[in-house]
Structure 1
């Protein structure tokens, strides 16, 4: 009943936002690649919002010169606010927090912390895009002498600090806060963050500013070169439209890091950063096409009893298929993690000294 009341309270707000349609949420389409500026673009796929079921259609284009994949046309700032609304905070905040606190996420977080520990023992670590801070809480168990801080746009980062999962909370954008945090951290992590950003190159430069010389940057992002992305097309969970704006191939990312003064010490498509959900999510997204929409504040009105009954019937019929698909995800995960099928990759890079530091050392 509380959720129903929350939805009803938010419905007029969304009605005002959608009164003129979704067209204003998009920028004009690009004709050149945002990574290499080539005009050799091709359409990759179309998708919709499979998770929240907010209205609108989204396209991904691929650069034939460098392989970069990006949302085109891209969302405006207003569009990003609309599609992020009630996901990490608000109506969907509790569900998202539970997802990150789940057993699968915790296990993956441990592996990520151990991957960095193989190269360094940081004293201060900043997790960018930390959300509710669950990575930091888990990593602290692996690195007990490390102090973890978090940075994010939403109110979740402040809640993470209040609940003790991080020592300090920074609310805002890394590119805007970097100078204030310059040289403060031994490690910066970006777990499935870079693909959400408007300018990935700017985020990498900001991370370098925040790091001390010799500090490490740990990045995990979707692997756009995974064959599963072509197999499942718009129903491949890592495409995650409309939130994911950029998909950087691992080679492009490593070359950019080297260009701005990092040394790549580890770069792997295969590994335990793979998230075993591809089959299960694709199956659910397929079944959801036959379901009436679940009540949400962006719908003009609350679904009627018949629609609710049909949704439950289809969901119950699809549940065994989804469970079988998830079982296959888990069964195949050890094999997938050793191959290019992995849906994510991990890069660890060490920040080089500033030129001024180099001169002082000569």
Structure 2
């Protein structure tokens, strides 16, 4: 075993007692009471949409999504409590998962530039930009190449935003909940962005009101979220990556979000589907299925480290799946991506809205 692998094994072993203590009484306490009404429109006409498990970290627990038959809003029901959010986020973006996620997000420069370029037709020279849910600040770093005269600040509730400030990716870091920080940010920003952030929030309407407060009159709000109306959502079922349970709590059809923005005093000036599509759906589905089938790799929420035989079986199964992963990648990038919007397969949408 290499020194790096040994260090990871030792780190997992050190974390195991705390995780086992947290799981001693099961996972039911991580879930709030089940809702009987839609959190978006208050309708009581709810239907089950999806039942799944944590397919990325494989932490214990089962999760359900319901769909409102009146407005089409999808939401996790029952929803994670604050304690549950802390448990399932732990070691995903930070801790054990920090290096992996930083590498994943850091290699997406072209996508980040595309997000910044979406604003250019509406404001080519914003002075101040707040990126909410900035993570490690990689978007802000890439966006500076598109808007060199813009000061980029970042906001997040994880320590990633502080790492971003130390690395110079953001000019100023705010750590905490956006609605709680919004009063001190009133009318401060030409642009506020929420890229794949709103679906993580416990109360999307409160987040949108916070954005309205932070954007100056005449400024812009840029939102990008998974598209629950994508055909992939039904074709791939639980293997559709944007479900991302249990982290994603709300899925808003684009018509719903447009109406809510209008009610808050915004005017939607652009709606994009092809541009924010991330061509990874088939690749991710194959990987999630392979990873689910193979024996688990070591993690502190497992009672003990998997033995050598299980680790060998896992390696063999994943190697056997390499041809399928390559095929899925080629289909995603070259066959489907050019036609994704026309086929209704875009997995995300982006709105640009101007505050009146």
Render the CA deviation track for 1:80-132: whole Å, top value 9, x for unaligned.
00000001110001100110111xx2111111111111110210000000000
Q: For residue 265 of structure 1, report the CA deviation from its aligned partner.
A: 0.5
> Structure 1: which 5+ runs fail to align?
353-362
1:15–1:175 CA distance, 2 compared to 1 (3 A): same
Where does 1:69-218 land on structure 2 (aligned, <5 Å)? Answer: 69-102=74-107, 105-120=108-123, 121-218=125-222
Contact 2:55–2:292 (CA under 8 A) maintained in structure 1: no
Please give the alpha-carbon distance, in whole angstroms, between the structure 2 residues aligned to 1:14 and 1:304: 19
Q: Does 1:21 pair with 2:26?
A: yes
**Size of the alignment, in residue pairs?**
349
User: Please, what TM-score do these two structures have when normalized by structure 1?
Assistant: 0.95
Q: Give 1:327's aligned residue.
A: 330
CA RMSD in angstroms comes to 0.8
Render the CA deviation track for 1:159-196: whole Å, top value 9, x for unaligned.
10011100000000100000011111000000000000
Q: Does 1:295 pair with 2:298?
A: yes
Q: For residue 290 of structure 1, report the CA deviation from its aligned partner.
A: 2.1
Please give the alpha-carbon distance, in whole angstroms, between the structure 1 residues aligned to 2:47 and 2:319: 39
Q: For residue 340 of structure 1, report the CA deviation from its aligned partner.
A: 2.4
Q: Give 1:219's aligned residue.
A: 223
Where does 1:225-236 land on structure 2 (aligned, <5 Å)? Answer: 225-236=229-240
> Structure 2: which 5+ runs fail to align?
1-5
- Structure 1: 4+ residue segments shifted above 3 A: none
Please give the alpha-carbon distance, in whole angstroms, between the structure 2 residues aligned to 1:151 and 1:34: 25
Q: Does 1:43 pair with 2:45?
A: no
Q: Does 1:62 pair with 2:67?
A: yes
Please give the alpha-carbon distance, in whole angstroms, between the structure 2 residues aligned to 1:75 and 1:326: 33
Please give the alpha-carbon distance, in whole angstroms, between the structure 2 residues aligned to 1:318 and 1:340: 28
Contact 2:66–2:77 (CA under 8 A) maintained in structure 1: yes
Q: For residue 337 of structure 1, report the CA deviation from its aligned partner.
A: 4.0
